[in-house]
Amino acid sequence: MERIGFLSFGHWGPGQGSRTRTAGEALVQGIELAVAAEELGVDGAFFRVHHFARQQASPFPLLAAIAARTHRIEIGTGVIDMRYENPLYMAEEAAATDLISGGRLQLGISRGSPEPARQGASAFGYVPLDGETDADMARRHTEVFRKAITGAGVAEADPRYAGAATGLLPVQPQSPGLAERIWWGAGTRKTAVWAAELGMNLMSSTLLTEDTGVPFHELQAEQIQLFRDTWQAAGHSHEPRISVSRSVLPIVDDEDRRYFAGSALRDGRDQVGIIDGFTARFGKSYVGEPDRLAEELAADSAVQAADTLLLTVPNQLGVEFNAKLLGHLARHIAPSLGWIPSNR
């Protein structure tokens, strides 16, 4: 395990016990947690993007603010739903954020997950073309975005206002190296193979929208191996990155016991359900004493196969609690997986 990071869904609301009651608090606390994580030696601060919900929705202002407050930690998304995106405007925002960070942006994108709004992307002005599915539209937006961040021309120059230039103009700014730091959030083995063929890194979460009857971590490890094999066969010139997400909640003190000791998350089993008409397998949560969690994660074949572990955090418990949680993970669990703090 080369890197660990946190993944925040950026929930906010007035629920009982919430320490993140407004959108403003969620944003400011996201910045503060990233600063605290960097001080602990954690490698990444990632945020989920979800529309029409009380969660983080527009990541680039948040990531740019974190970039301006930090120096080393990677900043990223897990993931941006490409059905909703103007790919050229997104290319400009991503490049600007990456330049502010000094090349630390790790951008997770995908077709996205079910949203609270029916046909929500159409409210943003994006509707599939004739014969397209929502997934096809997301991939079309992705293709345009990826070309734009490599400097490909996308709009015809007007010589009257472009210094007599002709041909196609690229969007500006450009950030060298950003194209190699795009991750595809793959929910199946098939989409992982597709991402590898195109040279995108692999971001795999605690959910796969397929089920073969084997434990979640074994199915995810198979997905990772297929990705690696396809990447090698494609002959890409750079090494891929692979991340998996896990919910890891160490119980160390009375506060932790109050929140998690009686939680149903301690069930310790995968769950199977239906999402968008497909059978999906959800990975288990890891809840308990640090020594036991270290042993369980060491036996997780997908965690062992990935180079980056993203730890989902209960962000509504506030910065102080989540910084403590990350500290326990960094001191008592991650080193047993081979991880070395970046601030050492």
Q: What global pTM score does this model have? A: 0.94
Confidence of residue 207 (pLDDT cuts 50, 70, 90): confident
310 torsion bin: left (phi>0), alpha (psi -120 to 50), beta (else): beta
Query: Which pLDDT tens digit goes with each residue over 36-49?
Result: 999 999 999 999 99
pLDDT over 80 at 202, yes or no? yes
By the 8 A CB rule, do 287 and 266 touch? yes
pLDDT over 70 at 344, yes or no? no
pLDDT over 80 at 215, yes or no? yes
Percent over 90 (pLDDT), the chain: 82
User: CA-to-CA distance for 311 and 136, rounded, in angstroms?
Assistant: 30
Average pLDDT on 90-94 reads: 98
Q: Could you tell me which residue, 120 or 207, shows the higher pLDDT? A: 120
* pLDDT of amino acid 271: 74
User: CA-to-CA distance for 59 and 47, rounded, in angstroms?
Assistant: 7
pLDDT over 70 at 100, yes or no? yes
User: CA-to-CA distance for 203 and 207, rounded, in angstroms?
Assistant: 11
Confidence of residue 1 (pLDDT cuts 50, 70, 90): confident
* pLDDT of amino acid 274: 66
* pLDDT of amino acid 266: 62
* pLDDT of amino acid 125: 97
- Over the range 158-192, which residues count as b (16 or more CB within 10 Å of their CB) and which as e? eeeeeeeeeeeebbeebbeebbbbbbbbbbbbebb
CATH number for the domain formed by residue range(s) 3-153+171-337: 3.20.20.30
pLDDT over 70 at 263, yes or no? no
* pLDDT of amino acid 7: 97
Confidence of residue 275 (pLDDT cuts 50, 70, 90): low
Confidence of residue 278 (pLDDT cuts 50, 70, 90): low
Confidence of residue 264 (pLDDT cuts 50, 70, 90): low
Mean pLDDT of the chain, nearest integer = 93
Supply angle C-alpha 60, 201, 308, rounded to 5.
85
Secondary-structure percent of the chain, ordered helix, strand, coil, rounded to 5: 45, 20, 40
* pLDDT of amino acid 260: 87
Query: How far from chain centre, in Å, is Cα 123?
Result: 24
Query: Which pLDDT tens digit goes with each residue over 232-244?
Result: 999 999 999 999 9
Q: DSSP character for 147?
A: H
* pLDDT of amino acid 3: 96
Query: Which pLDDT tens digit goes with each residue over 147-161?
Result: 999 999 999 999 989
Average pLDDT on 173-187 reads: 97
Tokens for 29, please give them: 């606390």
Average pLDDT on 249-264 reads: 86
User: CA-to-CA distance for 33 and 47, rounded, in angstroms?
Assistant: 11
User: CA-to-CA distance for 275 and 223, rounded, in angstroms?
Assistant: 19
Percent over 70 (pLDDT), the chain: 96
pLDDT over 60 at 203, yes or no? yes
pLDDT over 70 at 8, yes or no? yes
